[in-house]
Amino acid sequence: MNLYGQSGPVKAKLFVTTLAREAQEWFTNLPNGSIKSYEQLLQKFTFYFASKRKQKRSTTLFMIRQKEDETLKSFMGRFNNETLEVQDLRIDIMVSIFIHGLKKGPFASVLARDLPTDVERLMGLHKNILMRKR
């Protein structure tokens, strides 16, 4: 559905239909008439749920380890999802923590010899390893 150009009240009504569980309960408990515009609804929603979200610290990433039966691609995806919850994560720190979590293997060996300084270099090395396997 294209919402571009739709009025605020239409967007607000459609937005409300996407809410589930805690968000639906939050909306239902708002006092009648307390929301005057779509923008105000978004502002209140964002403020309420963003303030409740607990930010992770980079040190929690050290607990993420590649499982024995886990593919490198799967581990990279899982690790990346966790990094999204860490605010102000420096790339060099992220790369170091990622390497720390790898199981021993060809990729970990390459990284030990040629430590990447950024994500692009890390992805390039990963691609090279995948190409060698084929």
Ordered by where they begin, the domains of the chain are 8-52 (no CATH), 58-133 (1.10.1200)
3-state secondary structure of 37: coil
H helix runs in 6-86, sequence order: 8-17, 21-28, 38-52, 72-83
**C-alpha Rg value of the chain to the nearest Å:** 22
- pLDDT at 5 (0 to 100): 58
Helix (H, G, I), strand (E, B) or coil at 114: coil
Tokens of 7: 């009025």
Q: Identify whether the C-beta of residue 42 lies closer than 8 Å to the C-beta of residue 61.
A: no
Q: What is the pLDDT along the chain (134 residues), one digit of tens a residue?
A: 555 555 667 777 777 777 777 777 877 787 787 778 878 878 887 877 766 556 678 888 999 999 999 988 898 889 888 888 887 788 888 888 888 899 988 778 878 787 777 777 877 877 777 677 66
- Partnered with residue 56 across adjacent β-strands are 86
